[in-house]
Structure 1
């Protein structure tokens, strides 16, 4: 495995596995560059705070206790026994650049610990793409970065999940992500970055314009990564779930996983 000097995670909120029905040339090319899956499983309940919380903290929702209401109204308690991958990185590198650009603001203040010292930016998707791209070019030494786009989920709530209306905003998100990928390439960071693209949940299972259930449409997501040690055009190991993303990030950055994590590194992801 080659050296990974940074990890960049790009989240498409509420996109499920519906990217396969949308025009996503950027994501299609990314799948060819690395490992991908359209059958990865999220966590229950399939709601944003619970799912993103499990991705960051590597534990199940019953442990991190995050939900949308709590994330919107409170800050994640620094006294929690659970440690996010951001906090893990901060403990390893006190002066490292860590960043989160999120169109859903509660991720930046209600899910990520304040004590992790993460540079946070919240703005609408189109503006966010430009701002995140500019940040990457100005800060090539960033160690861990998360970028979150909300349009796919908003489109699902408005038009119905896995419908032409949502497919159009998924295609729009692909164009936003292309801006970030271009910035990474222009900054000369492709070769030593692990880039993860994924979503938190799907929708339309129990209700056409909602999510939260254990229906396969709600629970099944896409997950993909590319970078050093990842075989181009390969499949993500079947046992990898959304919750294991924290372990993948930690492994790539050479961090010791938290003892409290449920997250596991799946065998065979890195060659």
Structure 2
């Protein structure tokens, strides 16, 4: 009788352990990655890494615990840390928002065709652990950034343009700020206004380090700004060009 009971208890224990094993959930990282890929299937073939954020530099740049710096692909927040340059309108808000969201957070990083920029920063699409909306897109969605597409990292360029267009229509963030719709004295407003054509934000540059900024002002005029010009530093680029000739071919004129 004791032998039968022992055998029965052994069988029940084995069945219990098997049931527990089969019901065991997937690892958090695996399950979260599947959620991300369901929302952004374009990333299925891209390399993914995970890391923890050590500190935030500004709205679109941060440093990992291992010392690597990451620059968000496809979006550009107003400057706050450029040497000898004033803080751009809505730059502090964008920087504070990213500090609040990313500092100390575990992030999932996906690359596009390119790996780093000229400063050695990793160019990545970023996800905060547990949040399936890409952080690059979230900044555009909430009006903390404008689109800046540079080849070869163009996987989500159309999606980002659409997201920015929606943020503008709702006057979110920087698009609702007074400075976003106030033309400069010359009429070549570096910020532009609500009448800008978001489609032009999808202009791209083929060289590795484009310097010429393209922008559309409140009068819907396409203007390009070269390094050293009066409005260059405060201009939020919607298009980047390698040469002035490239800008002119795209229908832009030089800032007066």
TM over 0.5, yes or no? no
Task: Report the TM-score when normalising by structure 1.
Answer: 0.29
Higher relative contact order (CA closer than 8 Å, sequence separation 6+): 1
Q: Normalising by structure 2, report the TM-score.
A: 0.30
Bigger proportion of residues as helix = 1
